[in-house]
Amino acid sequence: MKRLLLTALSLLAFLTAFSQRPGEIESVADRFDEYDAELKNLTKKIGRANDLAALDDFDKSLADLNTRWDLYYQSSAALIGGNKTLLDACTQLMAVKDDLGQKAADKRLALQSQADFEEAGRFMAGKDSLYRRLLKSAKRYSQIQMTAAQLKKVQGKEQLLTAQLDQRYSAAQAASENIKWKTPKEKEEALSELEEKYLNLKNYSAQIQECQYKPFIERIRDWLMSFAAVAVILMFANMVQGKIQAAKQMKENMKKMQEQLHKNDDEIPSI
């Protein structure tokens, strides 16, 4: 049975090759040359595509070529498969076509990532003043119990804003891995700058959420405790500074003593 199958396949290949006429082979080869010329133009086009709009235009051109290629290949598959030269040329064209598609996808990912990273920076830069206004309102509404509802409204608005902030920061961090940075240092500096903006806004967020109404006595107590904490810190700092000064003075005294001893040694007459 196996031998019969092999014989049938050999016969089919022979009949296919026999049925090929030189004119048909040349026609397919000419068509391949046309597709090759189009692929070369698309290679130049993807090299010049430096924004998403240009990539959209490239994708349309490649999709059009793919459609025409698929239709032609289906109609000429038997002829191509029966000729090694045509089959090799077909394989090469398809490899170039697939490579162009991958290059477009990689470039789109890099450009989209760059856009997401920059958008996150713009979002943070534009929200600094808004956070300050929300913090000011939260502090004002926390002064009296009657404005507790307004305080909750401000805090709710801030929570929605911070959810957007967190989302954009996370997206920017992920996008940074796909951006074509010139140097590792450029990436490090860009991430550091973005993180600084993010943490600054998160600090405002924490202060806004901490705002709550407290009776006058409690506010006085908190103020006194904070004042006491500052006083302790200052006292500790002064103590440390005093010890440093004392150590310096002791070192200076020892140095003078050593100099005096050497001076006395020089004055002793030698025998």
pLDDT tens per residue across span 112-147? 999 999 999 999 998 999 999 999 999 999 988 898
Q: Lowest-confidence range among 34-38, 206-210, 259-263, 266-270?
A: 266-270
What was the pLDDT predicted at 135? 94
Residues 117/176, Cβ–Cβ less than 8 Å: yes
> DSSP strand E in 195-249: where?
none
| pLDDT of 163 above 80 | yes
Whether residue 114 contacts residue 172, with contact meaning beta carbons closer than 8 Å, is answered with: no
Query: How much is the pLDDT for 8?
Result: 38
pLDDT at 189 over 80: yes
Average pLDDT over residues 82-90: 88
Burial 162-194 (b: 16+ CB within 10 A, else e): beebeebbeebeebbeebeeeeeeeeeebeeeb
Q: Which residue has the higher pLDDT, 245 or 242?
A: 245
Residue 187 has pLDDT above 90, yes or no: yes
Residue type, 65: L
DSSP letter (8 states) at residue 178: T
Model confidence at 270: pLDDT above 60: no
Please, which contacts does 12-15 make with residues 24 or more away whose CB atoms are closer than 8 Å? 13/82
Q: Among 84, 78, 46, which Cα is nearest to 65's? A: 46
Gap between the Cα atoms of 140 and 88, Å rounded: 78
Which residue, chain included where needed, has tokens 């074509």? 180
- Answer yes or no: is pLDDT of 15 > 50: no
**Both structure tokens of 188:** 């490090």
Distances (CA, A) of 218 to 112, 141, 145, 224: 52, 16, 13, 10
CA dist., res. 112 & res. 184, Å (int):
20
Sorting pLDDT into bands at 50, 70 and 90, what band is 161? very high
pTM for this one? Answer: 0.61
3-state secondary structure of 271: coil
The pLDDT of 200-225, averaged and rounded, is 76
Boundaries of every domain in the chain: 2-111, 215-244
